[in-house]
Structure formats: structure tokens, C-alpha cells
Amino acid sequence: MTTMTDRKNAAISRGVGMTTQIYADRAENAEIWDKDGNRYIDFAAGIAVVNTGHRHPRVVQAIKDQLDRFTHTCHQVVPYENYVSLAERLNRLVPGDFEKKTIFATTGAEAVENAVKIARHHTGRPGIVAFTGAFHGRTFMGMTLTGKVQPYKAGFGAMMPDVWHLPFPNELHGVSQADALAALDKLFKADVDPARVAAIIVEPVQGEGGFYPVPSGFMQTLRALCDDHGMLLIADEVQTGFARTGKLFAMEHHGVAADITCMAKGLGGGMPISAVTGRAEVMDGPNPGGLGGTYAGNPLGVAAAHAVLDIIEDEGLSERAERLGQRLKQRLASLRDDVPEIVDIRGPGLMNAVEFNVGAKPSPEFTNKVREEALSRGLILLTCGVYGNVIRFLPPLTVPDAVFDEALGIIEDSVRAARGAGRHQAAQDGGLMAGAQEA
Ligand SMILES: Cc1ncc(COP(=O)(O)O)c(C=O)c1O
């Protein structure tokens, strides 16, 4: 019998990876049901997209209302009011006590591309500094800025010129803030004149790279460096935005404003829309027609985004993210005595992660085992990290308490089961943990 996976493999490029073989039939808040009626708790949220839950009634209503009026005119041809009012809202909400302007696009990668174009145009400089472990998308500039070779850069030919990577300060992996700054100093002496650099781009919490928050004080240092050298600071808030970290934007944890902020994912509550907001004079650099796109700021996405911003405020989702995140981290911490593979538990708000080593080495095998055990118990989890040894938790911020508690139980059972499987396998392998020989 031909399965859906057979059909998928025959029809779709293997370059589009898949974390699960669940074919979605319907979804509601933090739950997804597949074609066979199996129910899953969704701790991926479409990779940090449905922060307001699947099909939040107010998002659905906003989309339906817009659908009944018009779906597409292209804002560059026949503009619409809610595009302007969404820009006005983001100009008010994005950190920074200065006049701002906004553009819309469709994906996170496009937001990053536009931020780079705008920064280059304003400064007249080509260079961009990014960080190892960063993820900024799969377009040419996005993948060039990304600091992870497999699977994002390998085989895709020449990267864009004038992009430089600094080691991301990460004490857990032996890189201090001083190391990162020393590398920057060396970069500016050995490789590129800072007067050639338009901007530094940073995720306030690295997403795909492993859920590592920028350490306290480092964002201020970056801000000062940018100011000293006439460079712009670009915050990629594509994954961290919209209450995920316990604040509307993760930069608020640092008390630092970026010159340009990239947004996507959570903004549209499941509709594809992204945005770039920045200093008005910077955003106004490009000539009319230099920015935009046929679908940029699609009316359905714009309508959904207004509803998302209303919901975040009315339902206190930033506070809820903080509360739930504390509970998740406490539950993971309670396992530490029994599970020596846990080397770190971290993350602001409900952008949390647990990192696993076996012996002193990162263990993607153990991590995948946890993910698989969870899936077999009906919980969807994602991994991340340059070494693939991190489980990231991204539930909708609206996840009901009972469903959240159920998921915490599954997480505990899955971590314990992964240990059990590891021990069982170790006995069979004559002392090696399961999969360790693959590393
Ligand atoms: C921080 C960050 N920037 C950019 C992107 C790219 O967004 P998209 O996949 O919508 O192009 C992502 C996606 O995961 C991301 O996490």
C-alpha cells in the first residue's frame, strides 16, 4: 500500500526536511489531530508562529472579515488602511524612543534581506557582521548570514560577499564575551575596515542555533560599538518576537533599541506576513520601488496581525509566557539528579530549551531519542543547536493549563525513557550509549 510518506518522498524534494510524519487534519489552540484522528499536543507552534494558538477565534474572525472585503490589491497599486495602521502600531511597539517607519514583507528571510538592503543604502557601506550559530533564513543573504553550514549552506555555492561571522558569546561552549570582543577586534584589524561595515545583525536569543540568549551586558556593548563605528544594529526578532520571551520583543530584556528590527512568525498568527521597523531616516533611504513586493503586507496577513496584537495585550500573553516558562524549567530542573545527560536548562519566557550531553560530548542521539519518545506519547517537540543536542520548547502561549500539565508529564516520561533506552542499548553495545558511535 502506498503511504503518505511514500507519496511525499516521490513528489517533494528531500531538501524540504520533515520532523514528523503526521499529516495534519485540524488544529485547535495547542492541539493537532491527524488524518487518522490521532491527537497531538503541539510544542512547536509551527516553529514559533502560532503564539496565539491554532485558529484563535479572533484571528479566524479577522481573516474571515477581510476575506469578505478583499484579499489582494497589492499595497503598491491600491493601498489599504489596515496596512498603514499596522505600521503605526509597530512603530509605537518596537523598542526605541525615536521616530520609526515600517515596511511589510511575507517571510522572515525577506525581512532580513530588506533590513540588510536598508542598512547598506543608509550607510553606503557593504559589510555585515553576524554570529556563528545564527539563523537568518534560506535566501542567499539569509543563508550567508546564517552561522551553521549543515544543512543551510553546504552545496549552495558562493555565499554573498562582505559578510563576517563573530563567535557568539556562549559560556556553556567556552566562548566568553571577552572572546567575542577579541574576535571583533581582530576582525577589524585583520579582515575588514569597520568603516566598510553597515551593520551588526543579532538574534537576542539564538533560535535554530540552540536557544542561547545573548548574555547580559553584551547587547549594550554591541550598541556602543555600532555607535562608535557608525554602524547600525539590526535585531532579528523573527523567532523571539511577539511575547515569546515574556516581553513583546526580546530586546526589551536588554533595555537596548536596535536601529532596525526584523519580525515575522508570531506576527501573523499563522498567516505569512513579516515586517521591518526602524529609524525613520534609515527606513526612508531607498528610492520608491526599491522596497516592497507583490504580496508584501497581504491583506489577510495584515488583518490577522492586528488581531494577534490585540490578543497578546488582552490575554496578557507576555506574563503568561513568563509564568509557564518558569514551570517548565522547574520541571526539567527536578529531573537533573536522575538525568546527568541534562547539561543546561535555559531561556526567557516560554522560549525554553534543555541541552543534553552524553559523557562530555553533545548527544544528538539522546536528544532525538527524547523527541521520538515524546512523539510516541503524543507530544510534538523540536530539536535545535549547532550540535543538534538541544530540545526547544515552543508551545502556543495560549496553551490551556490542563494541556500544559499533560505535556510536562510527557516530557518527564520521555526524558526518563530515553535514559532507559540508552542504558538498555549500552548493555547491548558493550558500554556505549545508544547512537554514541554515530557521533
Ligand atoms: C531568527 C530567524 N530569522 C529568520 C528566519 C527565517 O524566517 P522564514 O523561515 O520565515 O524565512 C527564522 C526562521 O526560523 C528565524 O528563526
**Residue 251 per-residue DSSP state:** G
Residue type, 215: P
Residue located via cell numbers 520541571: 331
Q: Is 219 in the pocket of ligand 1 (CB under 6 A)?
A: no
Look at residue 423 in the predicted model and tell me its pLDDT. Answer: 54
Look at residue 435 in the predicted model and tell me its pLDDT. Answer: 30
Q: What stretches of 131-176 show up as alpha helix (H) in DSSP?
A: 140-145
- Give me the torsion for CA of 148, 265, 390, 177, rounded to 10°: 60
Provide the residue-wise pLDDT of the chain in tens; the chain has 439 residues. 899 999 999 999 999 988 898 999 999 999 999 999 999 999 999 999 999 999 999 999 999 999 999 999 999 999 999 999 999 999 999 999 999 999 999 999 999 999 999 999 999 999 999 999 999 999 999 999 999 999 999 999 999 999 999 999 999 999 999 999 999 999 999 999 999 999 999 999 999 999 999 999 999 999 999 999 999 999 999 999 999 999 999 999 999 999 999 999 999 999 999 999 999 999 999 999 999 999 999 999 999 999 999 999 999 999 999 999 999 999 999 999 999 999 999 999 999 999 999 999 999 999 999 999 999 999 999 999 989 999 999 999 999 999 999 999 999 999 999 998 655 444 443 333 333 222 2
Phi, psi of 396 (to 5 degrees): -55, 145
Collect all residues with Cβ–Cβ distance below 8 Å to 36 and sequence separation of at least 6: none
Which of these, 348, 372, 369, lies nearest to 419 by C-alpha position?
369
CA–CA separation, 64 vs 129, rounded Å?
Answer: 42
Which atom of ligand 1 is found nearest the CA of 272? 10
DSSP secondary structure string, 361-396? EE-HHHHHHHHHHHHHTTEE-EEESTTS-EEEE---
Q: Is 349 in the pocket of ligand 1 (CB under 6 A)?
A: no
CA–CA separation, 66 vs 62, rounded Å?
Answer: 6
Spacing, Cα 112 to ligand 1 middle (Å): 8
Give the dihedral sign, CA 72/76/77/78: positive
Which atom of ligand 1 is found nearest the CA of 262? 3
Residue 345 sits at the vertex; the CA angle it makes with 322 and 423, to the nearest 5 degrees, is 140
Look at residue 433 in the predicted model and tell me its pLDDT. Answer: 31
Q: Is 170 in the pocket of ligand 1 (CB under 6 A)?
A: no
Look at residue 317 in the predicted model and tell me its pLDDT. Answer: 98
Which of these, 362, 373, 356, lies nearest to 416 by C-alpha position?
373
Q: Is 46 in the pocket of ligand 1 (CB under 6 A)?
A: no
What are 168's three cell numbers? 557568539
Look at residue 118 in the predicted model and tell me its pLDDT. Answer: 98
- Helix (H), strand (E) at residue 358: strand 352-358
What 3-state class would DSSP assign to 293? Answer: coil
Look at residue 429 in the predicted model and tell me its pLDDT. Answer: 39
Spacing, Cα 215 to ligand 1 middle (Å): 21
Spacing, Cα 432 to ligand 1 middle (Å): 37
Angle between helices 401-428 and 364-376 (to 10 degrees): 130
* Cβ-contact 422, 437 below 8 angstroms: no
Residue 152 sits at the vertex; the CA angle it makes with 258 and 270, to the nearest 5 degrees, is 60
- Predicted TM-score (pTM) of this structure: 0.95
Look at residue 19 in the predicted model and tell me its pLDDT. Answer: 86
Collect all residues with Cβ–Cβ distance below 8 Å to 290 and sequence separation of at least 6: 117, 121
Q: Return the residue whose CA atom lies nearest to atom 4 of ligand 1.
A: 136
**Residue 213 per-residue DSSP state:** B
* Cβ-contact 27, 42 below 8 angstroms: yes
Residue type, 386: V
What 3-state class would DSSP assign to 129? Answer: strand
Q: Is 109 in the pocket of ligand 1 (CB under 6 A)?
A: yes
Look at residue 252 in the predicted model and tell me its pLDDT. Answer: 98
Q: Which of 139, 238, 240 to mutate to test the pocket of ligand 1 (most atoms within 8 A of CB)?
A: 238
**Residue 110 per-residue DSSP state:** H
Q: Return the residue whose CA atom lies nearest to atom 8 of ligand 1.
A: 108
What 3-state class would DSSP assign to 168? Answer: coil
| CB crowding 286-299: b at 16 or more within 10 Å, else e | beeeebbbebbbbb
